[in-house]
Amino acid sequence: MNFLYTFVATLLLSLLSLSSSSDISQLFETWCKEHGKTYTSQEEKSYRLKAFEDNCDFVKKHNEGNSSYTLSLNAFADLTHQEFKSSRLGLSAAPLNLDQRNLEVTGVFGDIPASIDWRKKGAVTNVKDQGSCGACWSFSATGAIEAINKIATGSLVSISEQELVDCDRSFNSGCEGGLMDYAFKFVINNHGIDTEEDYPYRAQDGTCKKEKLKRHAVTIDKYVDVPPNNEKQLLQAVAAQPVSVGICGSERAFQMYSKGIFTGPCSTSLDHAVLIVGYGSENGVDYWIVKNSWGTSWGMSGYMHMQRNSGNSQGERPAAAQANFLEYAFHGSAADWILPFAVKTDSTRAGNATRMEAIEGKTSGKLSSWDSLIEAWIR
């Protein structure tokens, strides 16, 4: 058990025995030390203590109930829920004028694996932190591009969210929010995007560094949308690559999430963007593996397990409402397979085409399973 989980467990035990304001104050001081929190005035500290106390009550009541997930006093425990929503969300409303086709993949491969985790296949970069900037949309978009580039080229490159925040301004609004569709279009029209190392993240709006727009570390050809509120289609997509999705992240339980399978509450209102990097099941409950952009102190080292296959008319289908899937390149009959494809340069494109032909030759035109396809493609 690492230090973070040890500390979380200690706080959870402390919550059970809180009986006075002095206990809350002592716990708050411990929490501040562990998270490196300091305040500019006693007035601000008192305000944060009140928010912390309110969150303590909320976490304690939830954890005393019968739930599939646990809450904790994480790094956001000194924020009111409204402050948290204002600083950590940022998904804009779905566009009404994008001429974008939906992805239809049902039955293309037949059976898909019972579970998949793209982290184990080396297709996911480390968890990042958007800070107090509503740029979740940029992290969701870059995560999908990073993954498809790894799948197609074998190279995992961390790319620049800040370039999107600063330069993708035709429809997106930097720290004030945006949409992954527009981010993908920006990368396509710009013929690529720079690395995070060359154009690092600063968690604030800035002037576009135009000289870096020409530094194309990674690019994509196109993207398609997974049909909204269709978890069967989303499952097919995630089996082939990590997928950029819009969800409802504004619930207080989402803010204080620690571990377990998150089952809501949730709504049909989309206000946060994340990356689905896999799926699985635990004790008969199906879940998505969700990569967030709130740092590693939130959730399970920056990840959440979110319930899947729970849709109903009230919109409790939190991860299937809006999803984007990066380019598929069709090779041969669509009834045989669909392969993910991303390019960095023309020479890389040619190399990938040769690689696809080699895979076809090795497998006599059709692979027996998704796992064998993915492994052959990554190799």
**Residue range 169-204, pLDDT digits in tens:** 999 999 999 999 999 999 999 999 999 999 999 999
pLDDT confidence of residue 111: 75
pLDDT confidence of residue 368: 42
What's the CA angle centered on 69, arms 68 and 70, to 5 degrees? Answer: 140
Distance CA 189, CA 25 (A): 53
- Domains annotated on the chain, with CATH: 3-78 (1.10.287.2250), 116-326 (3.90.70.10), 328-378 (no CATH)
Residue 241 has pLDDT above 90, yes or no: yes
Tell which wins on pLDDT, 318 or 334. Answer: 318
Name the nearest CA neighbour of 226 among 311, 102, 318.
102
Residue range 67-79: average pLDDT? Answer: 95
Residue 276 has pLDDT above 90, yes or no: yes
Percentage of the chain modeled with pLDDT above 70: 72
Mean pLDDT over each residue of the chain, to the nearest integer = 80
pLDDT confidence of residue 264: 84
Distance CA 236, CA 188 (A): 24
pLDDT confidence of residue 267: 72
pLDDT confidence of residue 106: 46
Q: Which residues make Cβ contacts (< 8 Å) with residue 169, sequence separation at least 6?
A: 208
Residue range 302-319: average pLDDT? Answer: 69
pLDDT tier at 78, thresholds 50, 70, 90: very high
Tell which wins on pLDDT, 16 or 308. Answer: 308
Residue range 293-320: average pLDDT? Answer: 77
pLDDT confidence of residue 86: 87
pLDDT confidence of residue 130: 97
Secondary structure (DSSP) of 256-287 = TEEEEEE-----S---EEEEEEEEEEETTEEE
Distance CA 257, CA 299 (A): 5
pLDDT confidence of residue 268: 72
Rounded to 5 degrees, φ, ψ at 172 are -85, 160
Distance CA 77, CA 187 (A): 36
pLDDT confidence of residue 11: 53
pLDDT confidence of residue 98: 53
pLDDT confidence of residue 54: 96
pLDDT confidence of residue 311: 62
**Residue range 100-151, pLDDT digits in tens:** 555 555 444 557 899 999 999 999 999 999 999 999 999 999 999 999 999 9
Cis-peptide into 340, omega within 30 deg: no
Neighbours of 161 (CB within 10 A): 29
Q: Residue for token digits 């501040």?
A: 32
Residue positions annotated with a catalytic role: 136, 272, 292
pLDDT confidence of residue 230: 84
Residue 328 has pLDDT above 50, yes or no: no
Residue 57 has pLDDT above 50, yes or no: yes
**Residue range 152-161, pLDDT digits in tens:** 999 999 999 9
**Residue range 363-372, pLDDT digits in tens:** 334 444 444 4
Residue 217 has pLDDT above 60, yes or no: yes
Residue range 35-40: average pLDDT? Answer: 94
Residue range 287-296: average pLDDT? Answer: 97
Name the nearest CA neighbour of 319 among 371, 377, 272.
272
